[in-house]
Amino acid sequence: MATDIPKALAAALAGAPLEQALEVAPRHVAAVRRQAEALYEAGKWAECVTALEVLALLGDVQPLDALMRARCHARLGQEDLALRWSEIAQKTLGELDTALASRSKE
């Protein structure tokens, strides 16, 4: 089932020693990332948030994750969370834009 990987990883990593968590990460990050994107495209908002949470736990945070998460929370009717993640997305994407602008000046 599509949502088993994030739930299993989250449960496994919740009480795992750091060494075990680091061992799990490289094997599953790409699969969880693809799953988060597929869940978003399928309109499975809560499951997508879970997958994004697992990615953050695994240390794989991409600039558009916060925007994706904001949109999921909005579609779930969780306005406070949607606003919070929208603000995080604006800040993150603003920082990325600034970094890219400074690179292009070099």
Domain holding 31, by residue range, is 1-61
The verdict on 15 and 30 lying in the same domain is: yes
Amino acid at 86: S
The per-residue pLDDT for range 48-86, each reduced to its tens digit, is 999 898 888 878 888 899 999 999 999 999 999 999 999
The verdict on 78 and 56 lying in the same domain is: no
Domain count, the chain: 2
The verdict on 79 and 98 lying in the same domain is: yes
**What confidence score (pLDDT) does residue 55 get?**
86
Greatest pairwise CA separation for the chain in angstroms: 48
The verdict on 79 and 40 lying in the same domain is: no
The verdict on 57 and 67 lying in the same domain is: no
Separation between Cα atoms, residue 106 and residue 93, nearest integer Å: 20
User: Could you tell me the pLDDT band of residue 93, with boundaries at 50, 70 and 90?
Assistant: confident
Amino acid at 97: D
The verdict on 85 and 38 lying in the same domain is: no
The verdict on 27 and 52 lying in the same domain is: yes
Q: Model-level pTM? A: 0.71
